[in-house]
Structure 1
Amino acid sequence: MDITIGVLAKRGVEKVLEQWRPTADYLTEAVPGHRFRIVPVLFDEVSLVVRNKLVDFVVMNSAIYVELSVRYGVQRILTLRNRLGPGQVTSRFGSVLLANKSNSDIRNYRDLSGRRVAAVHMTSLGGWIMALRELREAGLDRDDFSDLKFLDTHDAVVEAVADGRAEVGIVRTDTLERMAAEGRVDADSFHVVAPRSFADYPFRVSTRLYPEWPIAKLAHTPRELAKIVAQALMAMDRSDPAAEAARITGWTIPENYQPVHEILQELQLAPYEWFGEISPAAALRSYWPWLVGVVMVLILQTFLVVRIMALNKTLRRHQKALEDTERQYRSTFDQAPVGVAHLSPDGDLVRVNNAFSALTGYSAAELGGLNYNHLPHAEELASSLVKLNDLRDGLVDRIDLRQRWINKAQETIGVHLVATAVREDGDRVRFLILVATPSGPGFSEWAEGGS
Structure 2
Amino acid sequence: MVPRSALRVLIAAVVLTVCHPVGATSASMSPPLPPIRVAVLAYRGGDHANAVWEPTIRYLAGRFPDRGAEMVPLDLPGMEEAVQGRTVDFVLTNTGNYVELEARHGIARIATLQSSRTGTSGASVGSALIVRADRADIRDLADLKGRTVLASDPDAFGGFQVAWGEMVKAGIDPYRDLKELRFSGFPLDRIAFAVRDGDSDVGVLRACLLEELAAEGRIDPGRFRVLAPKAPPGFGCSVSTDLYPDWPLARLASTPETLAKAVAVALFQMPANDPAAAAGGYAGWTVPLDYQPVHALFRSLRIGPYRYLRELSLVDIAREHWQWLAVAALALLWWAIHSLRVEHLIKVRTAELHAANRGLRHEMAERRRAEEVARERQKDMDHIARLSILGEMASNLAHELNQPLGAISNYARGCTRRLEAGTGDPAQLAGATRAIAEQAERAGQIIARIRNFVRKRAPQPEPMDVNDGVHAAVALCEGQARTDSAAITLSLAGDLPPVLADRVQIEQVILNLVKNALDAMADTKPGGAGDAVRVVSIRTGRDREGRVEVAVADRGHGLAADAKARLFEPFFTTKPGGMGLGLSICRTIVEAHGGHLWASDNPGGGTVMRFVLPATTEEHRDDR
TM range (shorter): 0.5 to 0.7
Aligned counterpart for 1:209 among listed residues 239, 243, 268: 243
Give the alignment of 1:292-307 within 5 angstroms: none
Q: How many residues are aligned here?
A: 291
State the one-letter code of the partner of 2:145: S
Structure-1 separation of matches of 2:243 and 2:229: 13
Corresponding position of 2:167:
135
CA contact (8 A) 1:5 1:38 kept: yes
Corresponding position of 1:266:
300
User: 2:304 matched to 1:279?
Assistant: no
Aligned counterpart for 2:156 among listed residues 108, 116, 124: 124
Q: Matched residue of 1:191: which SS?
A: strand
Q: Is the alpha carbon distance of 1:279 and 1:88 closer, same or farther for their aligned partners in structure 2, counting shifts above 3 Å? A: closer
Q: Is the alpha carbon distance of 1:281 and 1:170 closer, same or farther for their aligned partners in structure 2, counting shifts above 3 Å? A: farther
Q: Give the drift of 1:84.
A: 2.2
Corresponding position of 1:158:
192
Corresponding position of 2:485:
none
Q: Is the alpha carbon distance of 1:236 and 1:91 closer, same or farther for their aligned partners in structure 2, counting shifts above 3 Å? A: farther
Structure-1 separation of matches of 2:238 and 2:188: 15
User: 2:65 matched to 1:32?
Assistant: yes
Corresponding position of 2:89:
56
Corresponding position of 2:608:
none
Q: Give the drift of 1:167.
A: 1.2
State the one-letter code of the partner of 1:186: D
Structure 2: any 5+ residue segments left out of the alignment? 1-33, 318-364, 366-375, 377-454, 462-624
Structure-2 separation of matches of 1:101 and 1:125: 25
Q: Is the alpha carbon distance of 1:88 and 1:38 closer, same or farther for their aligned partners in structure 2, counting shifts above 3 Å? A: farther
Aligned counterpart for 1:182 among listed residues 192, 216, 228: 216
Q: Give the drift of 1:114.
A: 1.2
CA contact (8 A) 1:83 1:89 kept: no
Structure 1: any 5+ residue segments left out of the alignment? 284-382, 384-403, 405-443
CA RMSD of aligned residues (A): 2.5
CA contact (8 A) 2:117 2:124 kept: no
Corresponding position of 2:74:
41
Q: Give the drift of 1:280.
A: 6.0
CA contact (8 A) 2:124 2:235 kept: no
Could you say which structure has the higher helix fraction? 2
Corresponding position of 1:94:
126
Structure-1 separation of matches of 2:316 and 2:170: 28
Corresponding position of 2:229:
195
Give the structure, 1 or 2, with the largest relative contact order (CA under 8 Å, sep 6 or more). Answer: 1
User: 2:254 matched to 1:220?
Assistant: yes
Identity of aligned residues (%): 39
Could you say which structure has the higher strand fraction? 1
Structure-1 separation of matches of 2:163 and 2:315: 30
Corresponding position of 1:247:
281
Aligned counterpart for 2:102 among listed residues 69, 94, 100: 69
Q: Give the drift of 1:59.
A: 0.7
Structure-1 separation of matches of 2:181 and 2:70: 36
State the one-letter code of the partner of 2:228: A
CA contact (8 A) 1:89 1:249 kept: no
Superposition TM-score, scaled by structure 2 size: 0.45
Structure-2 separation of matches of 1:55 and 1:126: 24
Superposition TM-score, scaled by structure 1 size: 0.61
Q: Matched residue of 1:272: which SS?
A: helix
Corresponding position of 2:38:
5
Deviations 1:12-40 (A, max 9, x none): 11100111111111111112312111111
Q: Give the drift of 1:238.
A: 1.4
Q: Give the drift of 1:277.
A: 5.7
Q: Give the drift of 1:282.
A: 7.2
- Which structure is larger by alpha-carbon Rg, 1 or 2? 2
Structure-1 separation of matches of 2:137 and 2:231: 21
Structure-2 separation of matches of 1:74 and 1:34: 22
CA contact (8 A) 1:84 1:202 kept: yes
Q: Give the drift of 1:91.
A: 3.7
CA contact (8 A) 2:150 2:183 kept: yes
Q: Give the drift of 1:57.
A: 0.6
Aligned counterpart for 2:271 among listed residues 237, 247, 267: 237
CA contact (8 A) 1:93 1:210 kept: yes
Q: Matched residue of 1:202: which SS?
A: coil
Structure-2 separation of matches of 1:160 and 1:104: 18
